[in-house]
Structure 1
Amino acid sequence: MNWLSIKKWFHLFWTTLLIGAGGAVIAGLALQFVNGKIDFKGIGDFFLYPLILLGYGMLVSVYSQLGFFAYLILNYMGNGVFPQKVWKYIQLVLSVLALLELIFLRTVVGGERNVMSDLILGIVILLAALIVSYFKVKSTNISALIPTFFFMTAISIVEVIGVLRIGVDSATVFIVVPLIACNAFQILMLHRILKPTAG
């Protein structure tokens, strides 16, 4: 890995950090407006709340980047163990199973859960995955479709499992917005980082 490649990865890290922070601020403020609970007791609170959101967004960003590198390792191992075509089918099946688990199986197993919340979340993740996959294919080629879809569905769902156990919709929105934004940015930028430099 040469210096230019390290510089690109470093740029990806900081840019993703900013996207996570921005996503958390947008999600946090939007939730405050929707819930109608904006109650700043002073000028200190007015500045402190966005700072807390920024810090939280950065933590979500780092969590997203850990998931991204775990995906890169998993993808590398999958391509090494299975034929490329078989590995793509495996990723597609895992993506579908992850979405089904999120939307249906969690509600069946935990009957007290609200099926509508999981259904909406599943549809949001699915739509985000389809949109990001479209732009990834447009930027590269059709071979990027299934890996991108797998990352944006299965890996994203694994990353949000922890907060889903809390069972609070606002907490889910608070993590999903910056997480999806970070995941989308990283997978869309990957081919630019891996692109060999001329000379």
Structure 2
Amino acid sequence: MNLRKWFFLFWTALLIGAVGSLITGLTMMLLNGEKTNGIADFMLYLLILFGSGVMISVYSQMGFFAYLILNYMGKGVFPKRGWQIVQIILTVLALLDVMFLRLFVGEGREPISDIVLGLIILAAAIVTAYVKVKQTNISALVPTLFFMIAVTAVETIGVLRIDSNAATIFIVVPLLMCNAYQMLILHKVVDASADQAVTGKVEQA
């Protein structure tokens, strides 16, 4: 991946995060019946949503590149089948962690919100994995599920500690959008860079 392709991935992911945050924030405002005091307050609210979406996107990209490094190291340490098994185990544990951990460590907490959150993450992961496999091949199934579930679970630890459903929705929706986008666009960016490298060698020859 060359620098130009990285910038393309960076800025488009920022846009996905900002749009996702705007849609989520405005939808929550409408559903809750909240109103702003005039056009100035509304524009300020939009600016806050946009900035929050950009920050969430940057956070998502940090997690994505951390995953790429982890995946590279995992392939070097484990055999191919072994690394797939490790990813599956970590994925299942991460999903169970999201859905049930706070139920056992918290007092008097309703488990339904965490279960719903886990199901949303699982659904997003399945849809992303399905599209990724259709675009590439079946070998992308486990890594995509691992990233979309395990890495997303790690990225949401901070907001889960806030123990606010509204904050969780506001963070998780654009985060899932950014994660899904990066996973689905990665092979296209890498393939394009590889094609350019091959073309350059042919022209030089």
TM-score of Structure 1 vs Structure 2, range by shorter chain: over 0.9
Deviations 1:112-165 (A, max 9, x none): 322000000000000000000000000000000000000000000100010000
Q: Is 2:90 aligned against 1:94?
A: yes
Query: Where in structure 2 are the equivalents of 1:167-182 lying within 5 Å?
Result: 167-182=163-178
Distance in 2 (CA, whole Å) between partners of 1:12 and 1:114 is 39
The count of residues paired between Structure 1 and Structure 2 equals 195
Query: Where in structure 2 are the equivalents of 1:129-168 lying within 5 Å?
Result: 129-168=125-164
Q: Is 2:27 aligned against 1:30?
A: yes
> 1:183 corresponds to which residue?
179
> 1:84 corresponds to which residue?
80
Query: Where in structure 2 are the equivalents of 1:37-76 lying within 5 Å?
Result: 37-38=34-35, 40-76=36-72
The structure with more radius of gyration: 2
Distance in 2 (CA, whole Å) between partners of 1:29 and 1:89 is 41
- Matched residue SS, 1:112: coil
1:17 to 14, 18, 28: 14
Distance in 1 (CA, whole Å) between partners of 2:43 and 2:66 is 35
> 2:202 corresponds to which residue?
none
Question: 143-152 vs 188-197, which deviates more?
Answer: 188-197
1:8 to 5, 9, 20: 5
Indicate the RMSD between aligned Cα atoms, in angstroms. 0.9
1:104 Cα shift?
Answer: 1.5
- Matched residue SS, 1:165: helix
Distance in 2 (CA, whole Å) between partners of 1:98 and 1:106 is 13
State the identity %: 57
- Matched residue SS, 1:127: helix
Q: What residue identity is the alignment partner of 1:154?
A: A
Return the TM-score normalized by structure 2: 0.93
Question: 161-170 vs 29-38, which deviates more?
Answer: 29-38
1:61 Cα shift?
Answer: 0.2
Q: What residue identity is the alignment partner of 1:123?
A: L
Runs ≥4 residues deviating over 4 A: none
Q: What residue identity is the alignment partner of 1:72?
A: L
Return 5+ residue gaps in structure 2 as ranges: 200-205
